[in-house]
């Protein structure tokens, strides 16, 4: 049965209007009009009649409704449209609307017909019969100009823009006349080819190395020769053979075991590169012995937290759980975690992003005894929006389309889950054209103690039942963990793409928090990469073993091979350890909350993961081997010294004007996509749900000036609050990733300070997204990229230790390369620092906007004039001048920290009216943003800053640029722009005594930005113009 | 504040017999994708009430639970993902399972508030505007004219005569809107005229109309004035620091709290 629902003509559909605008921008000409219909295709239901169907599907006040029951019934036809496109999801791709529709029918009392027998017709493959189900589809009705051929061409163009063939299919009817009705089916095929239920066994002991590697490639295991060797050795061990024989398993390795090992040992799960032994050498130093690094994680990252942890008791659980847990106040803890979802977002931007969000939400839900998500963050990196279509390698999407899809996924993922999206950033850079970077973060809160025990402790004991909660298992998301460890290419598996379903997860979240508070489970973890294999495999380490019954696992449809059930990454699932005494109560609570909970095994102390399928053993792996049997990688890193400054353009031209006309430079910088307002995107995120928002993403009189980060109060009735900020500056890494990392830490930390955060109470996450740094035929520069990684880790370590900033969790994604049509596109090495800090009293928080005319404007922190890797450099490079402007900004953490403490005290004492940290675009951009926010002008003199710039020595600083330009646009870190009321001037200056604190001028009523260098007027810019430049991008990204 | 003001996150209120409490018992609904229940309960608590969060599935199983309460709140969210239209599936559930109980509550003088998704549910179930007293749906909230979800603060004009219970003494207010389907429309111009001439319009957007609503309508009442539905979020402005311009010294009264306090005080003398 086919049901089509659409708004009546007198109620124009806002979605259609927006879509028409988008298509026009995408260059679809000759499209006059487009309207939308929601389509529901019911199969396997008894016909309840139109009245019931109307009640379920149609809002009769505004919508029309049409039901088709047989193929020969004529379709509606109107002169109002002459082409029709219908888009549905491919079989096996999650269809949340269809799931809800089936639920609504059940609630309306519509009954399913008896199940049909297995459909064995046709192509010889075993197809699965699907019981009653609803497929949702979206129908577009078009009015297209021109000849019939032209109509078809336009409709196909629109269809291409409206669906992603990896996961969706589109039917195009053009020219459409009523007679073409039969071409839209009553149901689309949802047949999924069944996998063989047999378990394969591989005789690894008899395989040659090349055969082992062939096996790794054929099965997409992403395992390297030493790893395949270690697996072979495990099976050759007589102890293994004996225990397998006793358990009734063959001597060879079963496919269930091989897949489980590959998942557990994937780069994604084991962070092999961060664990590797590295020999590091610098250019020109071939004589002395190389430096040996015994694991980047242990040497740098863990060491940060070890060295700053001394004497503090706020770090509760770091690194070993899903997310780092720290004390918030005496009764509550908070936790924070960020992940990336890059490869899936490249293939399906919407699905990749939404799955990223709901996935990291589950990390929080599975932290300790379970935390409640209280905020989301996202940092998105895309190729430049003006990239010519021809420059996009075949098989890749244009950055604009990636942006649209990712953004839509983040909107749905956050808003529908009721979790505010409070902070983040959008970056554009050529190097992200191959793989976008999609960083998704979530913060959570949990009571300090649950059941009279520290809430971060997990207890999983032998005898506890293993319970799977939430969605069912399908073939979507098979090999996600191993796939993310490969470069993207034409053969990337479609099954790695999934669509998250926030509403299923929302129900599960409500249920789990209720179950937690009733003490119904003992341990919890999420099902992310690797599915049950990963979650139960990890939980088994607590009890000492687990027995899994694969045939007990609820499936979306029949026809999954045993190994597929074990490693599928189907979404919205959590795993619990439940005391048998509580199982009945847990199961019935789940049922009352519309959540499925199923016992799928039992934890043990057998020392092994044992897997059964219909009572037959199909896998048995020693826990020790599974988790610790992975051989360490041995890698080489080779560092080349930073490049020297290249000459500045001397020839006249637009770019020359750029560096001599500061006003023009500032206008261009305000419109530079990385600096320009992205409000059109951010306003679509619900940033206020849960009611904790204190500093919002956009601030000021018109709520359109950027803030430095977010401040939220997680607990009603308490003014204690959290700051959330980010630091990311990949272009600084062109010269030296050491400084890039230090600057990223500083950026996040100084933004925390600018908001009013306590310098002694801040916690950071490190997320590395690197191009493949392992030497191979494909990656001849692997040693250099690895050296960049080593240096970034050192910079991260040095800055965090200097600031006393613990790293509480982190993640790395090491294969951000795309290889398409023979071209390799690698991301710039990228390190994101996400920071969560405490602000004792939210009413002390500050925003970036100038508050009152007459206030004094101060620049805090020394200005050193570095321009390498800055926004100004990028502007020149994109203007066609291959300019390198010398050394990148560097951090002096000692003086910076002293300044941060002094400024924090001043803010805490209420001496500061507004505070803005200086980042992209330097002083000039910060001034313009603060003025825009306050709708107030500024009159400043920067002579003191100019004269105090360090002299250029020609090597480290670009010599050709005027000192004033350097002072205005350099991106020296650790600086702030603060405004202070005249009555507080003296006290403020006293509080900042001993630190670089330059009085620049005053906030003025007249809406003009005026910058002098002594007697010389360097820059005069009306706020209206600045606002236009800053806001222009918004028109292009909605 | 009472001892319960310090409720820990995620912990639902303990169910002491609601009718026996000294403070006005309020039921705040949750579940199936409703997601603003905790802050609405907090806001009611600040307004002087004693709120309980009740899963709508539990209420549907036992509609008589409502007899112990004087106010019911339908919070914002994405019930059933808004998959078949905003609030649609939950509206059908309310119509089928809770209609009698809700009618009784209003008949005995009880109050109902529906915010955002809650308003969509009240409109689509027919509980609002209830022109003929038989829950016939005649208004709707459809996709914003911009086609996008939007979170921004709006200024609204309140028409206090529409609802003595919720709106007395209020004029201009500022509250955030956070929705993708908030465009208020009537089935036909006759319905709109009836709302206008019978004083059922509770609030209108001032200045910018964020979603293209007919006549700028942001909220309406039923004939009793005790059932209020609105798109802006009163529970999101209950103290100064929630206002977007508080750092500029803006000291406007938290008008969201004022609405809820009105309701609680009205219900206190029932």
CATH number of A534's domain: 3.90.650.10
* Contact call for residues A924 and A903 (beta carbons, < 8 A): no
A843 vs B: CB within 8 A = yes
B23 touches A at CB < 8 Å: no
For residue B193, the tally of other CB atoms under 10 A from its CB is 11
Report yes or no: B235 at the A interface, CB cutoff 8 Å. Answer: yes
Residues of B in contact with A410 (CB under 8 A): none
* The pLDDT of residue A649 is above 80: no
| Cβ separation B33–A503 shorter than 8 A | yes
Q: Residues in chain B, how many?
A: 270
- Band (A725; pLDDT cuts 50, 70, 90): very high
pLDDT at A819: 80
Contact B149 A703 (CB under 8 A): no
pLDDT in tens, A226-242: 999 999 999 999 999 99
Output the CA torsion sign for A914, A920, A921, A925.
negative
Question: Which residue range forms the structural domain that includes residue A9?
Answer: 2-183
State the Cα–Cα distance between residues A693 and A836, nearest whole angstrom: 14
- A1014/A1038 same-domain check: yes
Provide the β-strand partners of residue B227: B112
Asked whether the bond before A175 is cis by omega within 30 degrees of 0, the reply is: yes
Q: State whether A544 and A681 are in the same domain.
A: no
Question: Is the separation of the CB atoms in A132 and A106 below 8 Å?
Answer: no
Residue A597: per-residue pLDDT: 97
A981 and A933 share a domain?
yes
Give yes or no for a contact between A631 and A226, defined as CB atoms under 8 angstroms apart.
yes
- Structure confidence at residue A964 (pLDDT): 93
Which region among A295-299, A510-514, A821-825 has the lowest average model confidence (pLDDT)? A821-825
SS3 B251: coil
For residues A210 and A73, membership in a common domain is answered with no
pLDDT tens, A310-367? 888 999 988 777 788 999 999 999 999 999 999 889 989 999 999 999 999 999 999 9
**Straight-line distance from the first to the last Cα atom of chain A, in angstroms, rounded to the nearest whole number:** 36
B248 touches chain A (CB under 8 A): yes
User: Which of the pair, A128 or B194, is modelled with greater confidence?
Assistant: B194
Is residue A111 located within the same domain as residue A232? no
Mutate to test the interface with B, among A686, A701, A720, A849 (most CBs of B within 10 A): A686
Summarised one tens digit per residue, pLDDT across range A885-919 is 888 999 999 999 999 999 999 999 999 999 999 99
Inter-chain Cβ pairs, chain A and chain B, closer than 8 A? 214
Out of A565, A598, A632, a domain closes at A632
Cα(A244)–Cα(A251) distance, rounded to whole angstroms? 6
Q: Which residues of B touch A15 (CB under 8 A)?
A: 143, 147
At A229, phi and psi to the nearest 5? -65, -40
Q: Which domains does chain B have, with CATH numbers?
A: 22-268 (3.40.50.880)
Do the chains contact at B31 and A507, CB–CB below 8 Å?
yes
Q: Do the chains contact at A510 and B83, CB–CB below 8 Å?
A: no
Element housing A906 (H / E): helix A893-908
Running DSSP on this structure, what letter comes out for residue A298? Answer: I
Average pLDDT over residues A40-61: 95
B contacts of A16 (beta carbons < 8 Å): 147
Tokens of A97: 């609307």
Q: Is the pLDDT of residue A953 over 60?
A: no
For residues A6 and A120, state if they share a domain.
yes
SS3 call for A277: strand
Which element (helix H / strand E) includes A602? strand A597-603
User: Best mutation site among A688, A720, A930 for testing chain B: the one with the most B CBs within 10 Å?
Assistant: A688
Residue A452: band (very low, low, confident or very high) from pLDDT cuts 50, 70, 90 = confident
SS3 A52: helix
Whole-number pLDDT of residue A393: 77
From the first residue on, what is the mean pLDDT of each consecutive set of 10 residues in chain B (270 residues)? Answer: 36 61 94 96 97 96 96 97 95 96 97 98 97 96 96 97 96 96 97 97 97 98 97 97 93 91 94
Candidate from A225-234, A278-287, A298-307 with smallest mean pLDDT: A278-287
Residue A693 lies in a domain: no
Q: pLDDT digit string (tens) for A741-787?
A: 999 999 999 999 999 999 999 999 999 999 999 999 889 999 999 99
The alpha helices in chain B, defined as continuous H runs, are 37-46, 56-61, 88-97, 99-107, 117-125, 164-167, 189-197, 255-268
Catalytic positions of B: 116, 233, 235
Which residues have CB under 8 Å from B221's CB, separation 6+? B128, B129, B162, B163, B166, B200, B202, B227, B228, B229
Neighbours of A494 (CB within 10 A): 16
Tell whether A902 is covered by a domain.
yes
* Terminal CA-CA length for chain B: 23
Q: Which residues of A959-979 are buried (b: 16+ CB within 10 A; e: fewer)?
A: eebebbbbbbbbbbbbbbbbb
Smallest CA–CA distance, residue A843 to chain B, in Å, is: 7
Coil vs helix vs strand at A204: helix
Q: Which two tokens stand for residue B217?
A: 């309508």
Q: Is the peptide bond before B129 cis (omega within 30 degrees of 0)?
A: yes
**Shared domain check, A146 and A21:** yes
The mean pLDDT value of chain A amounts to 91
Contact assessment for residue A290 and residue A838, using Cβ atoms and an 8 Å cutoff: no
Report the sign of the C-alpha dihedral through residues A920, A1027, A406, A683, in that order: positive
Of A104, A416, A683, Cβ closest to residue B78: A416
pLDDT given for residue A884 in this prediction: 80
Residue B11 near chain A (CB below 8 Å): yes
Transcribe A726-795 into DSSP letters.
Answer: EE--GGGGGT-HHHHHHHHHHHHHHHHHHTT--TTSEEEEEEEE----S-SSS-TTHHHHHHHHHHHHHH
Cβ-Cβ contacts under 8 Å, A516 against chain B: 10
pLDDT score recorded for residue A205: 87
What integer pLDDT is reported at residue A958 of this predicted model? 54
pLDDT at position A821, please? 73
CA distance A427 to A769: 14
- Among the partner residues A97, A683, A689, nearest to B150 by beta-carbon distance: A683
Would the CB atoms of B152 and A683 count as touching at under 8 Å? Answer: yes
> Among partner residues B32, B43, B244, which is closest to A507 by beta-carbon distance?
B32
Among B83, B147, B150, the residue with its CB nearest the CB of A100 is B83
A848 CB within 8 Å of a chain B CB: no
Contact between chains at A688 and B176 (C-beta distance less than 8 A): yes
Q: Give chain A's domain count.
A: 3
Q: Examine residue A816 and state whether it is found in any structural domain, yes or no.
A: no
Is residue A552 situated within a structural domain?
Answer: yes
Residue A487 has pLDDT above 70, yes or no: no
User: For residue A620, with 0-12 CB atoms within 10 Å meaning exposed, 13-18 middle and 19 or more buried, which class applies?
Assistant: buried
Residue A479: the pLDDT is: 73
**Distance between CA A968 and CA A927 in Å, rounded?**
10
Those residues whose C-beta lies under 8 Å from the C-beta of residue A323, and which sit 6 or more positions away, are A335, A336, A337, A363, A364, A367, A371, A442, A444, A808, A809
Residue A679 tokens, joined: 């409000």
Residues A530 and A597 in one domain: yes
CA A556, A560, A565: angle at the middle one, nearest 5? Answer: 80
**Residue A156 sits in the same domain as residue A207:** no
Residue A998 clears pLDDT 50, i.e. is over it:
yes
Kindly give, in sequence order, each residue whose CB lies less than 8 Å from that of residue A513, ignoring residues fewer than 6 positions away: A370, A372, B10
Q: Is A725 contained in some domain?
A: no
Last residue of a domain, one of A597, A632, A667: A632
Angle made by CA atoms A249, A250, A256, in degrees to the nearest 5: 75
Cβ contacts of B197 within 8 Å, gap of 6 or more: none
Rg of chain B's alpha carbons, rounded to an integer? 17
Query: Does the interface predicted TM-score (ipTM) exceed 0.85?
Result: yes
Provide the H-helix boundaries in A209-338.
Answer: 209-218, 225-236, 238-247, 255-264, 267-270, 272-275, 296, 302-309
Using CA atoms, how far apart are residues A674 and A871, in angstroms rounded to an integer? 8
Task: Name A390's Cβ contacts closer than 8 Å, sequence gap at least 6.
Answer: none
Residues 903-942 in A contacting B (C-alpha not used; CB under 8 Å): 914, 934
pLDDT confidence of residue A27: 83
Find which of A13, A61, A94, A368 to mutate to test the B interface (most B CBs within 10 Å of its CB).
Answer: A61
> Least CB-CB distance to B35: which of A19, A97, A689?
A689
Within a domain: A487: yes
The residue out of A589, A609, A632 marking a domain boundary is A632
Q: Residue A525 has which token pair? A: 């973890």
The mean per-residue pLDDT over the stretch A517-524 comes to 94
In this structure, the answer to whether residues A953 and A879 fall within a common structural domain is yes
Q: What pLDDT, on the 0 to 100 scale, is given for residue A165?
A: 87
Nearest to B151 among A332, A685, A934 (CB): A685
CA–CA gap between residue B13 and residue B65 (Å, rounded): 15
Exposed/middle/buried for residue A120 (C-beta within 10 Å: 0-12, 13-18, 19+): exposed
Q: Is residue A76 part of a domain?
A: yes
- Residue ranges of A 683-702 with Cβ closer than 8 A to chain B: 683-691, 693-696, 699-701
Distance from CA of A267 to the nearest CA of B (A): 35
Residue A18, classified by CB atoms within 10 Å of its CB into exposed (0-12), middle (13-18) or buried (19+), is middle
Q: Are residues A113 and A223 in the same domain?
A: no
Closest by CA to A143, choosing from A35, A37, A13, is A35
CB contact under 8 A, A510 and B146: no
Confidence band for A865, pLDDT divided at 50, 70 and 90? very high
Contact assignment for B238 to A691 by CB distance below 8 Å: yes
CB B121 within 8 A of CB B79: yes
Does A80 reach chain B within 8 Å, measured CB to CB? no
The CATH number that applies at residue A88 is: 3.30.1280.10
DSSP A144-187: E-S-HHHHHHHHHHHHHHH--TTTEEEEEE-S--GGGGGGS-SS
Q: What is the pLDDT of residues A379-410, one digit of tens each?
A: 999 999 999 988 887 778 999 999 999 999 99
**What pLDDT shows up at residue A952?**
66
- Residues in chain B within 8 Å Cβ distance of A503: 33, 78, 80-81, 83
pLDDT at A390: 86
A872 and A995: one domain?
Answer: yes
Provide CB contacts within 8 A for A695, sequence distance 6+: A707, A709, A710, A711, A755, A845, A847, B247
- Of the candidates A780, A784, A787, A741, the one whose C-alpha atom is nearest the C-alpha of residue A764 is A741
* Residue B143 C-beta-side C-alpha neighbours within 13 Å: 20
Is A17 near chain B, with CB under 8 Å? Answer: yes
Q: Does B178 touch chain A (CB under 8 A)?
A: yes
Of A71-80, A325-334, A344-353, A998-1007, the poorest mean pLDDT is in A71-80
Which region holds residue A243: left if phi is over 0, alpha if psi is between -120 and 50, else beta? alpha
* Chain A residues in contact with B242 (beta carbon < 8 A): 688, 691, 693-694
What is the model's pLDDT at position A180?
55
Structural domain contains residue A433: no
The yes-or-no verdict on residue A711 having pLDDT over 50 is yes
């Amino acid at each position: 049965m086919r049901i089509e629902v659409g708004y009546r003509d007198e109620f124009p559909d806002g979605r259609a209007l927006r879509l028409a605008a988008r298509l026009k921008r995408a260059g679809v000409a000759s499209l006059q009009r487009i309207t939308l219909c929601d389509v529901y295709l019911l199969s396997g239901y008894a016909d309840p009649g139109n009245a019931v169907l109307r009640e379920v599907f149609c809002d009769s006040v505004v919508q029309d409704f049409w039901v088709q029951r047989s193929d020969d019934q004529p379709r509606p036809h109107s002169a109002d449209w002459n082409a029709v496109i219908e888009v549905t999801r491919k079989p096996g791709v999650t269809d949340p609307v269809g799931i809800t529709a089936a639920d609504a029918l059940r609630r309306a009392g519509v009954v399913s017909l008896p199940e049909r027998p297995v459909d064995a017709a046709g192509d010889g493959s075993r197809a699965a019969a699907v019981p009653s189900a609803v497929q949702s589809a979206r129908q577009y009705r078009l009015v297209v100009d021109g000849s019939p051929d032209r109509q078809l061409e336009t409709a196909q163009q629109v269809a291409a823009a409206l669906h992603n063939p990896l996961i969706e299919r589109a039917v195009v009817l053009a020219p459409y006349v009523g007679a073409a009705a039969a071409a839209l089916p009553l149901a689309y095929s949802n047949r999924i080819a069944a996998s063989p239920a047999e378990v394969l066994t591989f005789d690894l002991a008899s395989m040659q190395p090349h055969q082992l590697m062939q096996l790794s490639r054929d099965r997409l295991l992403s395992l390297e020769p030493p790893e395949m060797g270690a697996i072979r050795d495990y099976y050759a061990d007589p102890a293994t053979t004996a225990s397998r024989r006793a358990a009734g398993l063959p001597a060879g390795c079963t496919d269930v075991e091989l897949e489980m090992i590959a998942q557990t040992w994937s780069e994604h799960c084991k962070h092999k590169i961060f664990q590797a032994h590295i020999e590091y050498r610098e250019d020109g130093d071939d004589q002395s012995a190389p430096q040996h690094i015994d694991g980047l994680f242990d040497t740098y990252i863990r060491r940060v937290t070890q060295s700053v942890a001394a004497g503090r008791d706020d770090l509760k659980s770091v690194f070993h759980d899903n997310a780092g847990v720290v004390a918030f106040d005496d009764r509550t803890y908070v936790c924070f975690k960020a992940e990336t979802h890059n490869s899936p977002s490249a293939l399906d931007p919407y699905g990749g992003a939404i799955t990223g969000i709901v996935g990291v939400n589950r990390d929080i839900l599975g932290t300790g005894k379970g935390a409640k998500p209280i905020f989301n963050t996202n940092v998105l990196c895309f190729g430049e929006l003006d990239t010519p279509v021809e420059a996009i390698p075949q098989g890749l999407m244009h950055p604009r389309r990636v942006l649209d899809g990712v953004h839509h996924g983040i909107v749905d993922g956050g808003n529908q889950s009721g979790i505010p999206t409070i902070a983040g950033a959008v970056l554009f850079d050529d190097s992200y054209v191959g793989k976008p970077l999609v960083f998704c973060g979530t913060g959570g809160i949990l009571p300090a103690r649950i059941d009279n025990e520290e809430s971060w402790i997990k207890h999983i004991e032998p005898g506890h039942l293993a319970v799977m909660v939430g969605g069912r298992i399908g073939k979507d998301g098979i090999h996600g963990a191993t796939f993310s460890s490969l470069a993207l290419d034409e053969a990337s598996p479609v099954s790695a793409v999934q669509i998250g379903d926030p509403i299923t997860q929302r129900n599960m979240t409500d249920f789990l928090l209720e179950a937690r508070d009733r003490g119904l489970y003992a341990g919890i973890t999420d099902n992310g990469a690797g599915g049950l294999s990963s979650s139960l495999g990890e939980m088994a380490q607590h009890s000492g073993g687990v027995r899994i019954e694969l045939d007990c696992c609820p499936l979306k449809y029949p026809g999954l091979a045993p190994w597929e059930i074990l490693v599928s990454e189907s979404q919205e699932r959590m795993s619990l350890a439940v005391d048998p005494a509580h199982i009945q109560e847990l199961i019935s609570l789940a049922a009352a909350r519309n959540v499925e909970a199923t016992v799928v095994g039992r934890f043990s102390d057998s020392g092994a993961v044992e897997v059964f399928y219909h009572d037959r053993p199909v896998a048995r792996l020693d826990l020790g081997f599974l988790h610790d049997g992975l051989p360490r990688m041995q890698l080489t890193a080779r560092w080349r010294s930073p490049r020297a400054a290249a000459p500045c353009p001397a020839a006249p031209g637009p770019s020359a004007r750029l560096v001599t006309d500061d006003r023009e430079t500032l206008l261009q910088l305000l419109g530079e996509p990385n600096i320009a307002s992205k409000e059109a995107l951010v306003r679509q995120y619900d940033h206020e749900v849960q009611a904790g928002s204190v500093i919002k993403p956009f601030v000021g009189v018109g709520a359109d000036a950027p803030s430095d980060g977010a401040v939220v109060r997680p607990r009603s009735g308490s003014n204690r609050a959290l700051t959330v900020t980010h630091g990311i500056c990949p272009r600084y890494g062109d010269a030296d990733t050491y400084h890039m990392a230090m600057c990223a830490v500083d950026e996040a930390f100084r933004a925390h300070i600018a908001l009013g955060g306590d310098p002694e109470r801040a916690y950071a996450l490190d997320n590395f997204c690197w191009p493949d740094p392992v030497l191979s035929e494909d990656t001849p520069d692997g040693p250099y990229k690895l050296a960049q990684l080593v240096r970034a880790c050192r910079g991260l370590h040095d800055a965090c230790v200097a600031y006393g900033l613990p790293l509480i969790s982190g993640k790395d994604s090491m294969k951000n390369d795309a290889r398409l049509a023979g071209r390799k596109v690698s991301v710039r090495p990228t390190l994101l620092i996400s920071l969560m800090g405490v602000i004792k009293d939210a009413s002390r928080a500050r925003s970036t906007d100038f508050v009152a005319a007459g206030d004094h404007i101060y620049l805090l922190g020394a200005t050193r004039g570095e321009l390498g890797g800055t926004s100004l450099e990028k502007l020149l490079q994109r203007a066609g001048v291959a300019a390198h402007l010398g050394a990148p900004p560097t951090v002096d953490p000692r003086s910076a920290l002293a300044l941060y403490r002094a400024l924090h005290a001043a803010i805490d004492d209420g001496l500061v009216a507004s505070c803005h940290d200086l980042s992209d675009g330097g002083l000039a951009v910060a001034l313009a943003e603060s003025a825009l926010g306050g709708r107030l002008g500024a009159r400043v003199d920067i002579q003191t800053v100019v004269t105090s710039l360090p002299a250029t020595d020609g090597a480290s600083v670009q010599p050709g640029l005027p000192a004033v330009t350097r002072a205005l646009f350099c991106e020296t870190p650790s600086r702030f722009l603060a405004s202070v009321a005249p009555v507080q001037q003296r006290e403020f200056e006293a509080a900042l005594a001993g630190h670089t604190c330059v009085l620049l001028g005053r906030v003025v009523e007249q809406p003009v930005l005026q910058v002098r260098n002594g007697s010389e007027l360097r820059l005069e810019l009306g706020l209206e113009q600045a606002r236009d430049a800053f806001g222009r991008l918004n028109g292009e990204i909605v | 504040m009472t001892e319960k003001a310090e409720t820990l996150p995620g912990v639902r209120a303990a169910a002491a017999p609601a009718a026996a409490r000294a403070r006005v018992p309020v039921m705040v609904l949750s579940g199936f994708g409703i997601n603003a229940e905790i802050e609405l309960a907090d806001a009611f608590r600040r307004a002087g009430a004693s709120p309980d969060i009740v899963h709508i599935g539990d209420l549907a199983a036992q509609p008589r639970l409502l007899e112990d309460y004087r106010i019911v709140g339908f919070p914002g969210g994405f019930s059933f993902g808004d998959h078949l239209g905003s609030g649609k599936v939950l509206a059908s559930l309310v119509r089928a399972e809770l209609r009698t109980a809700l009618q009784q509550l209003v008949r005995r003088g009880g109050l109902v508030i529906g915010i955002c998704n809650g308003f969509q549910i009240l409109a689509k179930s027919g509980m609002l505007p209830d022109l003929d007293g038989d829950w016939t749906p005649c208004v709707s909230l459809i996709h914003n004219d911009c086609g996008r979800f939007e979170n921004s603060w709006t200024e609204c004009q309140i028409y206090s005569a529409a609802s003595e219970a919720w709106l007395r003494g209020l004029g201009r207010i500022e509250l955030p809107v956070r929705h993708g389907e908030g465009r208020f429309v009537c089935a036909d111009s006759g319905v709109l005229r009836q709302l206008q001439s019978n004083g059922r319009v509770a609030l209108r957007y001032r200045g910018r109309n964020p979603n293209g609503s007919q006549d700028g309508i942001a909220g309406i009442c039923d004939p009793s004035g005790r059932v209020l539905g609105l798109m802006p979020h009163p529970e999101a402005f209950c103290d100064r620091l929630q206002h977007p311009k508080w750092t500029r010294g803006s000291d406007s009264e938290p008008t969201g709290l004022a609405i809820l306090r009105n309701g609680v005080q009205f219900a206190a003398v029932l």
